[in-house]
Chains A and B, each alone.
Chain A
Amino acid sequence: MAGQSDPHPSLFSADEVEFVAEDEMIEIVPNMRMEPLNLLCGDYGPFFPQMVTKVPIWLAIALKKRGKCTIRPPPWMSIESLTQILESERESQESFQVLPFHYVEISRLLFDHARDDIPDVYMVRSLIEDIRDVRFHKVETSLESFEDARSSAVRIKNLSAMEVNIVRPFVGRALQAFYKHGSPDLIPNPERMSNSNANRWQQAPDQGQRVCYELMHGVILKSALYEKDKGFDNDTRHCSTQARSCYIRMLARKIVPVFFGSLF
């Protein structure tokens, strides 16, 4: 409609997802005294030197930048636990390992602002990048199996915020297309056709055209969507080409039988 500012308002940018992650709690060790802070998002402190306390990540980073504390990396950000996660991630092709919902964002924030507080930072960083790549690859390949789930609900266990955000526009629309094309409206129903004169326009040849039109429409929409996404972030680009070809393949498999079914 006219005046509409953004065609996909439900899609968050990578920065917005990061903003949300900054509210996650993390442990810090202050090196100064400070009175308790009564913030809008909660009460934190009082702060004493060498006494571990929990604060939101944005607060931890603000204090860290001013040299007022060291940040304690969360337990999952150690070489041992990450190596283990990476191994099990590689072993199982279907399921995802349990990681914090915001693991991508949290690790990136800590690498950017608190490198010196993370033991073996290079190793940890490359492990997390490996895990991320393995998982994103798995997300892409598992998209194909959505085809079998021609239902209204798909379960996605242990997917993280960033991963969900990347696949959301694509998967949402793909499922919607499946749902629409699986609708009884588009599958010839002899009983209804003979009964209803009013619905005569729905007869077979037109129906074929309609499906065909929707197929093209869907593909064009998707391409446009992904062109747009490319501008966002490296993370988003990751999904683009492969996911698109996957979508077209899936859609074709789904549509072609319906199309021919209505012609013959």
Chain B
Amino acid sequence: MVRSKLLIPVWFPRNSREGTVDEFVEGGTDPLTISLYQMDLDRTQFLLRSYLRIRLQKIEKHMFHILKTDELFNRLSKEEKVFAQRSCDDLKMHLEDSVLSRLPDNYQSILKQSIISEEIDMVPKPQLDMFVVCKTKYYLGHIQLEDGDDGNLDDRGNQRPLEEPFEMEPNVLYFVRYKPIKKLVEEGKIDLY
């Protein structure tokens, strides 16, 4: 997810530009120029709206997960935080009214499978094993495709045989599993498509 601070500089020039289009109309500027400015504005707004809509879809998809993960929650803008909080509350209320309140006492939590679960085990997490299309601007040698440091030691038995480290040439598209390159994407070394 992209940091919400990025949005602010996009919104402000938007407002001031809109002022300039009106000024042009009043100032009697040539209608062709005005319509071009208007088109430019429409394109930018279209992009911006698609961007915001995609973010809302992501929030809808994993709202409980986002709400309990500070790292993700802090990436939301103020309005998105309100949206996430409210849709969580609404969904929770709905599920409690319709189903959970009729279940035995032990099974009434929306986050846990039953009262004996020690941790929250009923919140779906985003699927990070997805394959994504990406490309890099610089040569990146030696990308370790295994999940690396964050794997628990207990899971050792589970691990795949190590794959060859992987190289990325600039401007070539790759299908790659998202997890191993997550960090590089966040550092801006790899662009997703």
What A residues does B39 contact at CB under 8 A?
58-59, 62
Encoded as 1 (CB less than 8 Å from any B CB) or 0, chain A from 29 to 67 comes to: 000001101011100000000000000001100100010
List of B residues within 8 angstroms of A153 by Cβ: 145, 166, 174-177
Given contacts A5-B57, A35-B33, A152-B180, contact A40 B41 (CB under 8 A): yes
Q: How far is the CA of A231 from the CA of B61 in the complex (A)?
A: 24
CB pair A151–B145 under 8 Å, yes or no, is yes
Q: A164-B193, A175-B131, A192-B157 are in contact. Are A9 and B32 (CB under 8 A)?
A: no
CB distance from A154 to the nearest CB of B (A): 4
Q: Which residues of B contact A58 (CB under 8 A)?
A: 39, 43
Q: How many angstroms from the CA of A9 to the CA of B131 in the assembled complex?
A: 14
From A40, A171, A184, B40 is in contact (CB under 8 Å) with A40
* Interface 0/1 of B24-64, CB less than 8 Å to A: 00000010110111011101101000100010011011110
Interface centre among B131, B132, B193 (most CB of A within 10 A): B131
| Interface-side segment among A70-78, A106-114, A155-163, A233-241 | A155-163
Contacts of A220 in B (CB 8 A): none
In chain A, positions 204-240 with a C-beta closer than 8 Å to chain B are none
CB distance from B23 to the nearest CB of A (A): 13
Instruction: Please name the residue on chain A nearest to B166 by beta carbon.
Output: A153
Within 8 A of B (CB), among A1-21: 1-6, 9, 16, 19
B163 and A152 within 8 A (CB) = yes
Q: How far is the CB of B116 from the nearest CB of chain A, in Å?
A: 15
Q: Are B60 and A5 in contact (CB under 8 A)?
A: yes
How many interface residues does chain A have, given as a range?
35 or more
Bound-complex Cα distance A10 to B29 (A): 41
Are A59 and B36 interface neighbours, CB within 8 A?
A: yes
B173: Cβ under 8 A from any A Cβ: yes
| A176 vs B178: C-alpha distance when bound (angstroms) | 11
Q: Is the CB of B91 within 8 A of A3?
A: yes
Chain B contact-residue range equals 35 or more
A55 to B145, CA, bound (A): 41
CB-nearest residue of chain B to A176: B131
User: Do residues B57 and A6 form an inter-chain contact, with CB atoms below 8 A?
Assistant: yes
Contact indicator B60/A152 (Cβ below 8 Å): no
Name the distance in Å between A157's Cβ and chain B's nearest Cβ: 5
B120 at interface, CB cutoff 8 A: no
Nearest Cβ distance between residue B190 and chain A, in whole angstroms?
12
Contacting pair A172 B174 (CB below 8 A): no
Q: How far is the CB of A149 from chain B (nearest CB, A)?
A: 9
Residues of A within 8 A of B174 (CB): 153-156
Which residue of chain A is the closest to B54 with respect to CB atoms?
Answer: A9
Closest to B31 in A: A66
B172 touches A37 (CB 8 A): no
Bound complex: CA A171 to CA B176 (Å): 11
**Which chain A residues numbered 157 to 200 have a C-beta less than 8 Å away from chain B?**
157-159, 161, 164, 168, 171-173, 175-176, 179-180, 182-185, 189, 191-192
A175 and B175 contact, CB distance less than 8 A? yes
Closest to B146 in A: A152
Docked Cα-Cα span, A37 to B61, in Å, equals 41
Q: How far is the CB of B65 from chain A (nearest CB, A)?
A: 10
7 further interface pairs, Cβ-Cβ under 8 Å (given A1-B124, A164-B193): A16-B50, A40-B17, A155-B173, A171-B175, A175-B177, A176-B129, A176-B130
